[in-house]
Structure 1
């Protein structure tokens, strides 16, 4: 049963990687961007539920993954709900939440696969855990500035 859940988890992670990139690269309006975003969020729900389930199944070794799953999904749900509910400053929450959740997916992929990738050999695992956030956080800030500027110039 665990192996089946793991396969679903990996497939959903791959879908998140592809659709998250699709959402980032598509024009920001209804259509492709929205479609990629919906599929991304749905896949992230699968990642969240499967990670929680696997952590519970192997609690002794994986309890920390239970908490990481909740933390990671909190970014995705904030980004998703911000655009759906049109909160005050929704665009900032949407950008920060969705890109923050994408950083979580990238981090998970790197942490699991870094030992198998020659480029990452010799890099301490703690760096692998934090490198996506170190690189991604300034990019989130720049993206927020970019879209705040576009919104301000449009009004």
Structure 2
């Protein structure tokens, strides 16, 4: 996210991110299916989050109309999804956070991440116009 937005480090890291997300997606689906009663929510988080990552990845590759908005929101939204999944699964082991009500873990990444996506979207799409 911090790399300059041009070919090179940014695109290499984007390919690495997407490839890593595919591995996380497949393993999340497998874990959810194997332990459905305890982990069914991982199945839905994985589908939704990878869908966002794929849209963001595809938008940058195909450069369709308004591609930059799709790329930014897809990649950042997938990041929020994976942070949400990690929090929900591991929050009982994180001091301070484990004192919050459980519902907070589901919404806190979105509450923090959405304004950041909106700010970066305005910043980069304004430069393109």
TM-score by length of 1: 0.80
Residue 109 of structure 2 aligns with which residue? 132
Measured in 2, the distance between the counterparts of 1:121 and 1:151 equals 42
Q: How far apart are 1:119 and its partner, in Å? A: 2.0
Residue 4 of structure 1 aligns with which residue? none
Structure 2 unaligned segments of length 5 or more: list them: none
Aligned length: 129
Residue 32 of structure 1 aligns with which residue? 9
Residue 102 of structure 1 aligns with which residue? 79
Measured in 2, the distance between the counterparts of 1:143 and 1:52 equals 31
DSSP 3-state at the match of 2:124: helix
Aligned counterparts, 1:86-125, within 5 A: 86-125=63-102
DSSP 3-state at the match of 2:99: coil
TM-score by length of 2: 0.95
Residue 5 of structure 1 aligns with which residue? none
Residue 23 of structure 2 aligns with which residue? 46
Structure 1 unaligned segments of length 5 or more: list them: 1-23
DSSP 3-state at the match of 2:100: coil
Measured in 2, the distance between the counterparts of 1:46 and 1:119 equals 30
DSSP 3-state at the match of 1:118: coil
Measured in 2, the distance between the counterparts of 1:61 and 1:106 equals 19
After TM superposition, the runs of 4+ consecutive aligned structure 1 residues lying more than 3 A away are: none
Q: How far apart are 1:53 and its partner, in Å? A: 0.9
Residue 38 of structure 2 aligns with which residue? 61
Q: How far apart are 1:149 and its partner, in Å? A: 1.3
Q: How far apart are 1:113 and its partner, in Å? A: 2.3
Q: How far apart are 1:46 and its partner, in Å? A: 0.5
Please tell me whether the aligned partners of residues 45 and 85 of structure 2 are also in contact (alpha carbons under 8 angstroms): no
Measured in 2, the distance between the counterparts of 1:108 and 1:70 equals 12
